[in-house]
Amino acid sequence: MSEITPEVREGHWSKTKTLTIITLVIWFIFSFVVHWFADSLNSMSFLGFPLGFYMAAQGSLVVFVVLIFWLAYRQNKIDEEFGVAEED
């Protein structure tokens, strides 16, 4: 990899930091907030299960897996944009 300029490094870090913050907010919502309001969510159902129970048992896990793939995809796009992507 060639040397990158401080401006490119700054732009790359800015976008990476924003992506990290967004990812952590989504993670926090599905790790804590959804479970704090599980009793309220149980008034609704999803696939025949109370929504709070479903989110605690399956829904959050599905979101975490999707979040991992989304994060990797977006970070790769940021890396390509700034010319610091890994070569295949």
pLDDT (tens digit per residue) in 47-69 = 888 988 888 888 889 999 999 99
Which of 88, 61, 64 shows the shortest CA–CA distance to 76? 88
Tokens 């989304």 correspond to 70
Say what the pLDDT of residue 37 is. Answer: 86
- pTM, to two decimals: 0.81
Which of 10, 12, 6, 7 shows the shortest CA–CA distance to 83? 12
Mean pLDDT of 42-49: 88
When the pLDDT of each residue in the chain is averaged and rounded to a whole number, the result is 91
Tokens 């149980």 correspond to 42
